[in-house]
Amino acid sequence: MAKYSNYPQSAKNRAKAALSHKEKTKTKCGTSVGWARARQLSSGAALDLSTVKRTFSFLSRAKTYDQGKFTDKDGRDICGSIMYAAWGGDSMKAWCERTINKSQNK
């Protein structure tokens, strides 16, 4: 089974930023699955194709909730933005789509 670890550094950085926010603020946002994905991405762990597909699926749905910042003007967490970053954000979404398309063309 193919493994993929060549995702963008920017995706790793977004996951690291979300994890840092969680550590600093103890945010209640996200699920154990989302935080596990953030740890995988931030460490550069290899992902199998089914994980790449699930990541793309999540990011495709979650993009609508991303406001590009982790807190609002009152300092409250923006969970959609935090978790979109935890899963690697825009660069991860684009990489997943390319990776899925390449795998289907083989």
The H or E element containing residue 57 is: helix 49-62
Whole-prediction pTM value? 0.94
Whether the predicted pLDDT of 91 surpasses 90: yes
**100 close to 46: Cβ distance less than 8 angstroms:** no
The 10s digit of each residue's pLDDT in 12-51 is: 999 999 999 999 999 999 999 999 999 999 999 999 999 9
d(C-alpha 39, C-alpha 36), whole Å: 5
Structure tokens belonging to residue 102: 């390449």
